[in-house]
Structure 1
Amino acid sequence: DMMAAAHAAFPAVGDEASALRAALPPRWPGYHLVILAGGRVSLHLHYGDAGDILPTLDIYADCWFLDGFAPARNPSLWTPGLLSQIGRLTADGGSFASFTAAGDVRRGLQDAGFDVHKAAGFGRKRDMIRGSMRRSAAAAEGSKKQDASHPSHTHRFNPPGRVAIIGAGIAGASVAAGLARRGAEPLLIDSASVPASAASGNRAALQSPRLSVDHNAMSRLSASCLSFAARAADAAGATIAAGVLALDAPDRMAARHAIFRQQSWPDSLLRDAAAMQPAPPGMDGEAAGIFFEYGRAIQPAVLVGMLAGPAEFVGDFAVTSIARTAEGLTLGAADGRHLTVDAVVLSGGASVGPLLQQIDAGMPVEVTRGQVSHVPATPLSAALDMGVSFGGYLTPPVGGLHELGATFSRDLNAEIDDAAAHAHNVNLLPAGLLPNLDAGSAENLGLRTSYRASLADRRPAMGRVKDDIWMLGGLGARGFTLAPLLGDVLAAAILGRPTPLARDQMAGIHAARYLPE
């Protein structure tokens, strides 16, 4: 309401202001990405104390607008330490402007490396200040060295134009969307004839965060990913139901949930499900657990289709080789075809491991086989209006069928046994759900088998693995939560744009952690 009242003073941009307010993410601490104006504007929001946030970033800003009320009213936003961080994060030749002309601020910005000048103010402001970054020869040389390995200065980096993305599931589609909206030419390549044919091809999926008991960087990143993924699913029309109920089952989850309830998460991220009385439709008894308001049950094909839409799709192209040639990187297919591009992204889930080996960048990729059951909805279960997780998961019905999953098998050579897999999935169901389902037998239920890839530390791997070869993989069973944001962040890195995740988050997921120094 306060923002709407402020925007009312500028009716000429009323439509843009309304779109901004509608797109704002939940106010969870940390990073949130908001895409506006049909993809032409990226708003990077960090909710929290600027003095805590800026030291964690490694970006280069071309200009700053510094406005945080007068220093006397908000002194913590004008400290020498914070102004020093602004200087650290400013690109060569970068500029600033501020309505604040206080002497302490001028001197702090000068100490941070800016040439500072007074200028005429606006309205009741008699004076303002503005200036640009000056660099010493040593600082400029250090900046150039940093750019060589971490190209964040767009004016010094020649980004690739044509980028092949190997794997047309949720990871590849997310990278493609990020590249396309920044003006690159993504090619989605897959061994299948259509996108979302492998692990991203299930009828339904859940989006929910993977929080940690120690509230660590990966936990905070997971929340940021959920914020973006849920909004992406809603925008694509992929959402079946809003909200995911994580039951206190099995017992190990109950212990974790007890810790999560004590953490400082806003209610809009998670709240105790005990407040959900009576039990949600389609469930019997108490709903003991935690509820993720921004969790989603989604249709994967719809979300992947929206993200992949701007990219050229090359199907039935099973990549077996990647070779550097005078023209760029040449991909060889099993049928003898070749395709040459400027850069390559490996995002094919279970197929990433062999390609990493092929380019001498092997990682401990673990592939597991998973099977989901498709269970007919009953009059009782059809009322389920949220996703439910309990060690396994259950979605609201799509086309009259719930998705119930899933198995995890590390023995890829074992014979696929649909009956045993279905029995496993049914046995995961807690007592409050089982009576309302017609779980039946595996016969005629159309179990679906796919393969997931994860890494030894159970964290994603994102980043450059060789010159002009990048990857997004190891997403495990949370691809639809993690990939939309991480794919966009990777696209920004490939094109030399800002990647405003916190330093510990970037380090925790960077592919370089598995590569020789």
Structure 2
Amino acid sequence: MNKARPAKNPTTCPADITWNENSQPISTQFDDVYFSTTDGLKETEFVFLQHNNLPQRWQTPTSNNHFTVAETGFGTGLNFLVTWYNWQKQTPQNTADGPARLHFISVEKYPLLRADLARALALWPEFAALSEQLLSQYPPQPIEGTFRLTFDDGKVLLTLIFSDAENGLTQIAPCSTLARHAGAEYTLGNGPLVVDAWFLDGFSPAKNPEMWTPTLFQSMAKLSGKNTTFSTFTSARVVREGLKEAGFHCIKVSGFGLKREMLYGHFQPVNHTDQPATTDNSQRRDAAHHYWHLCAAASHEQSSTATIKNKNAASAIVVGGGLAGCQAAHALAQRGIRVTLLEKNSCLADEASGNRQGALYTRLSPQDDPLSRFNLSAQIFANNFYSSKKAHGSLFDLCGDQCGVIHLCTQDRQKTYYQQLANRFQVDEHFCQWLECDAVSELSGLKIKLPGLFLPQAGWISPVKLCEQLCAHPLIDVLTNTEVKELNISGKGWAAIDTRANTVCEANYAIIANAHAAQNFEQTAHLQLKTIRGQVSHILEDWQPLSQLKTVLCGEGYISPSQNGIHCAGATFNLRDASVEISQQDHDTNLHNLKQMIELPNSPPPRNIEGRVGFRTTTPDYFPIVGPAPMAAPMEQNFASLRHRANAVLSAPGEFYPGLYTLLGLGSRGLAYSPIAADLLASLVCSEPLPVDQKQYRQLHPARFLIRNLMRNKPSTL
């Protein structure tokens, strides 16, 4: 029997807490309080908001119209709730430059379980509405990684990094000490990520010395700018000297409650260019110390896209009107960027994204491998994305049904994996539950042959309705019947040229999101994309064996509850098949897959069965392709030494077309992958914190295939 590989040296575990006589949480690991026993709320306001001067600073919008707070120690989430609450009260919801946005980054090594978090937050009933929203999106425990939570229709973002402080901040900093000491200034996206205010929380240095390290303070410095401030409840010498050494000016003042003194101050940039590059052998052996995924800041300063004075003036072209393009357009518009979406067909979602229904589904596994970790992150992000309440209801309300998805075990290995996942998340049954056959049958409404893993927060979505909803934004203009033949650099940034050689529009940024047709563009012709034919079957609701279906079932195929009197079942995988005609053989395959999942009585086959053919676009490693479009020839030249030594130390960044990005290769997971992929893309464009860690970003990066081919000494594809 195959067993899943456990995580290697996990840096997080659930918080072990007790409760005092006032129902306040106490850390057993550190024998310390989470907040002042005198008044936790007033402590947060005094130490963090007042001494970072936040209410006053928020009255003047920043140049990029978002304000970033970073925190060490999420704990009970009190600091975040207080910051969010005051942001709502004191910050204009919209400015001349578009919606003002708050980014809150928090690193936590010992996350609270959801039940403990709910009990702690109940101490502040004035934040009940905000607490409910936080709890509804809080990641299932125990889990490690980076997770993006979105509130107030995208105006407030919480990036939770469940890791130790050193590793967590390293994941959002653009590069390690190797490149910084070499004098390089690299960025993850279109510009540097700068933290405006630091909340140094966590347990006291005496009880938690592992957190308060020189590496922590150096990472803070890498993410700080000339206007960055900090505050902390402690005035311990190790903290004061560590901050000063990293370039922070420290001021000691009276503390809150029983704390005699505290520190606050601001960052004074330190010049590292005169320091030699490190020659540590362990770094030389580590291929992770390549910087091909990073951008050189100088090139961005020279590009037309970096000269935009305010975000409201920024514009983007999105090529492709399927799930990828519509999600990208929506994510950019939510950040105040005006988008022109160009679709060659007469309506949105007319090709691979055009099925009547799609399951919110990823291939979940407890294995500790990159794709399994990404699938888990994408599932959690998508669950929250589609279920978050907005003015007119959630996207599940408007475009589908959050009826749950049951992953049925068609193989013994799957059963092992799904049981391990259910055991792993047994304290968070809202995320997944193990069900035996009888429980699956009761929940789904049909007699089911197999046990499975139930995801209550998932369901089905109509991709066509979803695309229409995503593009119903005042900053998005949709042009159909517009086929883009070329994307050319122009004075404004990028120009879209149609098949008649006419310039359709110009914009500062261009996003290529047109699936396999991306290979028709000169800039992305080298990307490794392939198409796979798939056919779905449309079965009338009155076919008795399916009439009582209440949830989505996924096995070798899938079947959804009816929409407008029709069930959608599928989908086949036909390699090397370019036929667009409906195939009876494929209908038979879909019905056969249903029979493997459901006890079907001896009744006539469904009548008047119809269907639809689409062509998914996927990649050799099954990850989407998200990020800046690489300039292939310069990349191959700059990293050519990797052909001879895959672990060669190279401090050069990647070479990219300024302002040109891709969102491609969603395969059969478009509904699940597109929300997190679009958020990543928009974060890169807007120089915001990423919704994934740096390691996962490299696995999604468009340049990864070029680098891998060099490491394997494969012939050039150019």
Q: Does residue 69 of structure 1 match 2:208?
A: no
**Out of 150, 163, 166, which is 1:35 matched to?**
150
State the identity as a percent: 26
Aligned match of 2:416 = 258
Give matches, 1:257-406, under 5 Å.
Answer: 257-262=415-420, 265-267=424-426, 268=428, 269-274=431-436, 277=439, 279=441, 280-310=443-473, 311-339=476-504, 340-355=506-521, 358-359=522-523, 361-377=525-541, 378-406=543-571
Kept in 2: contact 1:381–1:437 (CA 8 A): no
Q: Secondary structure at the match of 1:104?
A: helix
Aligned match of 1:232 = 385
**Out of 321, 326, 330, which is 1:177 matched to?**
330
Shift of 1:139: 5.1
Aligned match of 1:494 = 685
Shift of 1:87: 3.4
CA displacement 1:386-440 (0-9 Å, x = unmatched):
2111121111111122111111223344463421110121122244415069783
Segments of structure 2 that go 5 or more residues without pairing to the other structure are: 1-117, 175-192, 278-290, 388-393, 630-656, 711-718
Instruction: Out of 232-241 and 409-418, give the one that drifted further.
Output: 409-418
Provide closer, same or farther for how the CA distance between residues 265 and 165 of structure 1 changes in structure 2, counting only shifts above 3 A.
Answer: farther
Equivalents in 2 of 1:296, 1:429: separation in Å? 18
Greater RCO structure (CA 8 Å; 6+ sep): 1
Provide closer, same or farther for how the CA distance between residues 290 and 21 of structure 1 changes in structure 2, counting only shifts above 3 A.
Answer: closer
| Residue type at the aligned position of 2:513 | S
Segments of structure 1 that go 5 or more residues without pairing to the other structure are: none
Equivalents in 2 of 1:86, 1:103: separation in Å? 18
Kept in 2: contact 1:189–1:315 (CA 8 A): yes
Aligned match of 2:172 = 57
Instruction: Out of 345-354 and 289-298, give the one that drifted further.
Output: 289-298
Q: Does residue 147 of structure 1 match 2:147?
A: no
| Residue type at the aligned position of 1:344 | A
Provide closer, same or farther for how the CA distance between residues 91 and 294 of structure 1 changes in structure 2, counting only shifts above 3 A.
Answer: farther
Shift of 1:508: 0.4
Instruction: Out of 107-116 and 240-249, give the one that drifted further.
Output: 107-116
CA displacement 1:35-70 (0-9 Å, x = unmatched):
222322211122344344333333632221111133
Q: Does residue 409 of structure 1 match 2:524?
A: no
Equivalents in 1 of 2:227, 2:604: separation in Å? 65
CA displacement 1:149-182 (0-9 Å, x = unmatched):
689xxx9774781101111121112111211111
Provide closer, same or farther for how the CA distance between residues 475 and 278 of structure 1 changes in structure 2, counting only shifts above 3 A.
Answer: closer
Q: Normalization by structure 1: what TM-score? A: 0.87
Give matches, 1:102-251, under 5 Å.
Answer: 102-138=236-272, 146-148=296-298, 158=308, 161-212=314-365, 214-234=367-387, 235-236=394-395, 237=397, 238-249=399-410, 251=411
Q: Secondary structure at the match of 1:200?
A: coil
**Out of 132, 147, 160, which is 1:45 matched to?**
160
Kept in 2: contact 1:345–1:471 (CA 8 A): yes
Q: Secondary structure at the match of 1:323?
A: strand
Q: Secondary structure at the match of 1:45?
A: strand
Equivalents in 2 of 1:20, 1:511: separation in Å? 33
Q: Secondary structure at the match of 1:62?
A: strand
Kept in 2: contact 1:204–1:300 (CA 8 A): yes
Shift of 1:193: 2.2
Equivalents in 2 of 1:348, 1:436: separation in Å? 43
Q: Secondary structure at the match of 1:425?
A: helix
**Number of paired residues?**
505
Give matches, 1:420-459, under 5 Å.
Answer: 420-433=585-598, 435=600, 440=605, 444-459=608-623
Kept in 2: contact 1:161–1:185 (CA 8 A): yes
Provide closer, same or farther for how the CA distance between residues 436 and 112 of structure 1 changes in structure 2, counting only shifts above 3 A.
Answer: farther
Provide closer, same or farther for how the CA distance between residues 314 and 447 of structure 1 changes in structure 2, counting only shifts above 3 A.
Answer: same
Provide closer, same or farther for how the CA distance between residues 433 and 508 of structure 1 changes in structure 2, counting only shifts above 3 A.
Answer: same
Aligned match of 1:94 = 228
Aligned match of 1:2 = 119
Q: Alignment RMSD, CA only?
A: 3.1
Kept in 1: contact 2:316–2:337 (CA 8 A): yes
Instruction: Out of 194-203 and 117-126, give the one that drifted further.
Output: 117-126
Kept in 1: contact 2:402–2:457 (CA 8 A): no
Equivalents in 1 of 2:602, 2:684: separation in Å? 46
Q: Secondary structure at the match of 1:132?
A: strand
Equivalents in 2 of 1:437, 1:104: separation in Å? 76
Aligned match of 1:471 = 662
Provide closer, same or farther for how the CA distance between residues 149 and 69 of structure 1 changes in structure 2, counting only shifts above 3 A.
Answer: farther
CA displacement 1:71-91 (0-9 Å, x = unmatched):
344444334444443334334
Provide closer, same or farther for how the CA distance between residues 25 and 407 of structure 1 changes in structure 2, counting only shifts above 3 A.
Answer: same
| Residue type at the aligned position of 1:448 | R
